[in-house]
Amino acid sequence: MTAAWRPAPGPVVCLGETMAALAPDPPRPLTEAGQLRLSVAGAESNVAMYLADHGVPAHWLSAVGDDPLGRRVRAAVAAAGVNVTRVRTDPHRPTGLLLKNPGPAGTGVHYYRAGSAASALGPDLLDGEPVRSAALLHLTGITPALSASCRALVTRALDTPAAERPYAVSFDVNHRAALWPDGTAPTVLRALADRADIVFVGLDEAQQLWGADLTVTGLRDLLPGPRILVVKDGARAATALTGEGACTVPALRTAVVEPVGAGDAFAAGFLAGLLRAEPLHRALRLGHLTAVSALGVTGDHGPLPETTDIARLLELPEPDWQRYRVPSGSWSIKAME
């Protein structure tokens, strides 16, 4: 029997824009906020930070402005253990900015990233280090929406057939409707995703893009190209589909402080599992565990459980995994003993 495909172990390069982020503190609608808290926000750097937390060598590759916000962004990502030495500083363009607007229906996001330093990135970014030495290149569907040059960058990264690429490519669809006003998102994102080795997509996200009646099986028919297609079904479960079949693991039950960043955390946990050559069910569990770390904080990056707790949670029998609920403010697993 042929062994299941896994990316080769080694460093991961996460390529994409990270912005300075302002959010009301305490959380409330912007129209009522008395003060704002400054942090950083970026899907790809979130993945890099959680990979670093899991002990996977991770690089963040991007550009920031030659401004205080850019220095703040670079320092925050570096503080999480991510290599940022190849991040460009653009003297002519600013660092992108977003505003979070919490409300009863969830948190809305307002972008101020048109003409940002990262929007000027292009295909030449793939020609040198750290991409040349990467085992895995992680991209998202956010980047091709930023500019024509950014779309050319992602397209070039995926143009080479998978068997001929020197590194594997993972792609999180990460549809941001506000960045696609021309209505091209469904066609562009489907074409890009189908060329990647590993794809992450939410079932509700896929239904919004490609059809309200789409099922997990139908999604695999729509995207036959990826070696591994991971479909996330919200707080219910995640399914990994490969040439060997489907593997589904229920999500952990937990109190949600804010859902922003949980998808990035899940992707990082799953990728860390693959890079360790874990079986799919354990990689999916590691994705869920990492997602809970993001769900429990107001920012995008929360603390992981202790290594020993992760190991014990990965070993739980299936019935115990399904019953387990993460205690509020604690990762203790004593309740399962």
Catalytic site positions? 264
Residue 49 has a CB neighbour count (10 Å cut-off) of 28
How far, in Å, CA of 78 to CA of 31, rounded? 33
Helix, strand, or coil here: 260? Answer: coil
How far, in Å, CA of 337 to CA of 334, rounded? 5
Helix, strand, or coil here: 96? Answer: coil
Q: Do 57 and 11 contact (CB within 8 A), yes or no?
A: yes
Tokens coding 228 = 């591994």
Helix, strand, or coil here: 19? Answer: strand
Q: To 5 degrees, how large is the angle CA 187–CA 192–CA 195? A: 130
Longest dimension (CA), the chain: 62
Residue closest to 48 by CA, chosen among 212, 335, 271? 271
Tokens coding 230 = 């991971």
How far, in Å, CA of 118 to CA of 82, rounded? 18
